[in-house]
Structure 1
Amino acid sequence: MNKSIMGLALASLLGASQVASALTVGFSQVGSESGWRTTFSESVKAEADKRGIDLKFSDAQQKQENQIKAIRSFIAQGVDAIVVAPVVETGWRPVLMEARRARIPVVIVDRNVAVNNDQLYVTRIAPNFVDEGRKAANWLMDATDGQCDIVELQGTVGSSAAIGRMEGFNEVIGKYEGAKIVRSQTAEFTRAKGKEVMESILKAEGGGKELCALWTHNDEMALGAIQAIREAGLKPGEDILVVSVDAVDDIFSALKAGDVNASVEMSPHLGGPAFDVIEAYLDGKRDFEKWMVMDGRIFTQENYQDEYELRKSQ
Structure 2
Amino acid sequence: MMIQRRTRTLAVACLLAATATLAASGCSKSEGSDNASADSSQGAQAAKSPETSSGSGCSLQTYGSPKLDLKDAVVGFSQSEKEANPFRIAETQSIKDEAKKVGVKKLLTTNAQSQLSKQISDIQDMLSQGAQFLIVAPLNSDGLEPALKAAAAKKVPVLTIDRKLNSTACKDYVAFLGSDFVEQGKRAADAMIKTTSGKGKVAILLGASGNNVTTDRTKGFVDQLKAKAPGLEIVAQQTGEFARDKGQQVMEQLIQSKPDITAVYAENDEMGLGAVTALKAAGKKPGKDVKIVSVDGTRNAVQALVNGEYNAVIESNPRFGPLAFATAQKFYGGEEIPENVIISDRAYDETNAKASLGGAF
- TM-score for the superposition, normalised by structure 2: 0.78
Residue 51 of structure 1, CA deviation: 2.9
Pairing partner for 2:126 from 74, 96, 103 = 74
For residue 7 of structure 1, what is the aligned residue in structure 2? 30
Pairing partner for 2:102 from 51, 59, 63 = 51
Alpha-carbon distance in structure 2 between the residues aligned to 1:203 and 1:80:
53
Distance 1:287 1:148, change over 3 A: same
Pairing partner for 2:292 from 233, 242, 251 = 242
For residue 91 of structure 2, what is the aligned residue in structure 1? 40
For residue 12 of structure 1, what is the aligned residue in structure 2? none
Q: Deviations over 1:157-184 (max 9, x none)?
A: 1122111100100111122332222111
Distance 1:117 1:270, change over 3 A: closer
Distance 1:105 1:27, change over 3 A: same
Alpha-carbon distance in structure 2 between the residues aligned to 1:40 and 1:303:
24
Aligned length in residues: 300
Check if 1:180 corresponds to 2:229: no
For residue 268 of structure 2, what is the aligned residue in structure 1? 218
Superposed, which structure 2 residues align to 1:83-94 within 5 Å? 83-94=135-146
Is contact 1:34–1:191 with CA below 8 Å preserved after alignment? no
Unaligned runs of 5+ in 1: 10-17
Superposed, which structure 2 residues align to 1:158-177 within 5 Å? 158-175=210-227, 176-177=229-230
Check if 1:303 corresponds to 2:356: no
Distance 1:298 1:197, change over 3 A: same
Is contact 2:133–2:157 with CA below 8 Å preserved after alignment? yes
- TM-score for the superposition, normalised by structure 1: 0.89
Greater mean alpha carbon deviation, residues 58-67 or residues 109-118 = 109-118
Residue 311 of structure 1, CA deviation: 5.6
Superposed, which structure 2 residues align to 1:192-207 within 5 Å? 192-205=245-258
Is contact 1:148–1:180 with CA below 8 Å preserved after alignment? yes
Pairing partner for 1:147 from 175, 199, 202 = 199
Residue type at the aligned position of 1:211: I
Residue 144 of structure 1, CA deviation: 2.4
Distance 1:25 1:45, change over 3 A: same
Is contact 2:195–2:291 with CA below 8 Å preserved after alignment? no
Greater mean alpha carbon deviation, residues 105-114 or residues 118-127 = 118-127
Residue 98 of structure 1, CA deviation: 2.6
For residue 14 of structure 1, what is the aligned residue in structure 2? none
Cα RMSD after superposing both structures: 2.2
